[in-house]
Amino acid sequence: MSSLAGPLNVRQVERAVDALFNHVQKKSKSGDKEQLIDSSDPVTVVIGMKKIPRTNGRVKPYMIKLKHSMYEAGSIETCLITRPPQRKYKDLLQSLNIDYISKVIDLKKLSSKYKQYEAKRQLSSSFDVFFADEKIIPKLPHLLGKEFFQKKKIPLTVKLGKQNLGDQFKRLLNSSPFFLAEGMCSVLKVGHTGMDRKQVVDNIIVGMDSVAKLLPKNWDFIQALNIRTHDSIALPIYSSLPTVSTITAAPAKSPKKRKSPGKREDEKDERPKKVKKAAGKAKEEAADEPAKEEEKKEEEITETPSAKKSAKKAAKPEVTKTPKSVQKKKISTPKSTMKASAKKVKAAA
C-alpha cells in the first residue's frame, strides 16, 4: 500500500472518506427525494493540475484499473446500446455465454421509446452500467440527455466486432474511465457509497497512482486532490506547493517611450505622386510665410512722408465746406425801413 500511495497521506484519505460517507448517511436519513430513488452516490476524485495538460486532440478516455471493482457480476443491472437490429446482438451475446448483460437497446428503439425526459430519467435509474458500440458513441449525447451525464452513467465503449467481447466487458467493469480535460481540472470515478469504505480508499490510492503516470511530470504535475459525491462539498486529500516556475515574478516593464508624430527616417513614403506633390507645395508655402511677414514689416518702415500724408488723407473722412462767396455775403436791410424805425424812436422820446 505504501509503495503505491506516493505522496498521498493514507490517514488523510481515510478521514475524508469517513466524513463523506457520514454526510451521505445523514442526508439519506433526512428523507431527501433524490436519495430515495438512488441507493448509492458515485464517489469521484477532483484532480487539480498546476498547468493545462496537452491532450493532443484525444477524445477517448483512459481506462484506469482499480483494485476493487465498482460492480459485482450478477448483482448489477447492465444495458448494451447497439446499432439496429438489436436481435442480432442478443444472439451474439447468447452464443458467447455472456449472461450479465441485462438488456440490449438499439438506436431506433432508444430514439422512439425514450424520447421524453421522464423516460430518459427512468432508463438511467434502471441500470448501473451502460455499454455502447464504439461506432455509435458520437450520437449518444443527444439521445441520452443530461440525466446520464449528471449521474456519471456515460456508456462505456466496446468493440462488438472483436472476438474477445467477454474480456472487454470484464476489463471495463474492473476499470474507471478517465477523461483528461483541456483545462486545469479532471475527474476520476473511484467507487460509490454502496461499497465498503476501505475499498474506496484502496481505489483512490491505486487509481491516482495510475493517473499520475499519465501526466507529464507525474505527481509534480498535480496541485490538489479532493473527493466528493455529485451533491456534496469537496474534501481535500492532497495539496502541494506551486513550483518555482509558476510563482516567479514577471520582469518589470520599462516605461514606453513616446513616439514622435513625425515620420521615421527608415519609413518609406508609399503615398501616390499627386499627394506627394501637394504635400511638398504645402510645406514650401508654410516655410515662405515668415519671409513674407518680414518683407511686409520692412515696407512699412521704408515708406516716404508723402506716402504717409496721402495715407492720412485717405484715412480722414471727407468734410463738405461752404464756398467763400456765401460766407462773405452780408444780409442787407432796406433804407426805408431804417428811416421809419428812426422816426418812431424820436417820437417816443
Tens digit of pLDDT for each residue in 52-69? Answer: 988 887 767 889 999 998
Separation CA 300–CA 288 (nearest Å): 19
Whether 65 and 4 have beta carbons less than 8 Å apart is answered as no
Please give the mean pLDDT across all residues of the chain: 78
What does the pLDDT read at residue 333? Answer: 53
Split at pLDDT 50, 70, 90, the class of 305 is: low
Query: Is the predicted pLDDT of residue 190 greater than 90, yes or no?
Result: yes
Angle formed at CA 228 by CA 226 and CA 234, multiple of 5 degrees:
55
Q: How far apart are CA 219 and CA 215, in angstroms?
A: 8
Query: At the top level of CATH, which class does the domain 1-69+174-242 belong to?
Result: alpha beta
Mapping DSSP onto H, E and C, the string for 222-271 reads EEEEEEECCCCCCEEEEECCCCHHHHCCCCCCCCCCCCCCCCCCCCCCCC
For the record, the C-alpha cell of 339 comes out as: 428811416
Q: What is the pLDDT of residue 76?
A: 80
Q: Looking at the predicted structure, is the pLDDT value of residue 339 above 70?
A: no
What are the tens digits of pLDDT across the range 228-282?
998 889 999 999 877 655 544 555 555 555 555 555 545 555 556 666 667 777 7
Statement: residue 36 has pLDDT above 70? no
Fold matches, 1-69+174-242 and 72-173: no
Please tell me the distance from the alpha carbon of residue 187 to that of residue 180, in angstroms, as a whole number.
8
Residue 33's pLDDT is what?
45
The model's confidence at residue 34, banded by pLDDT at 50, 70 and 90, is very low
| pLDDT score of 81 | 94
- Backbone phi, psi, residue 139, to 5°: -90, -10
Closest Cα partner for 9 from 210, 204, 190?
Answer: 204
Distance between CA 223 and CA 23 in Å, rounded?
26
- Amino acid code (one letter) for 310: S
Domain residue ranges in the chain: 1-69+174-242, 72-173
Is residue 67 within 8 Å of 206, Cβ to Cβ? yes
CATH of domain 72-173: 3.40.50.790
Identity of the highest mean pLDDT range in 33-42, 51-60, 126-135: 126-135
Question: What SS3 state is found at 124?
Answer: helix
Q: Is 257 exposed, middle or buried (0-12, 13-18, 19+ CB in 10 A)?
A: exposed
Range ranked top by mean pLDDT from 19-33, 167-181, 324-338: 167-181
Most confident region among 3-7, 71-75, 131-135 by mean pLDDT: 131-135
Task: Report d(CA 88, CA 183) in Å as an integer.
Answer: 41
DSSP string, 316-339: SPP-PPPPHHHHH------HHHHH
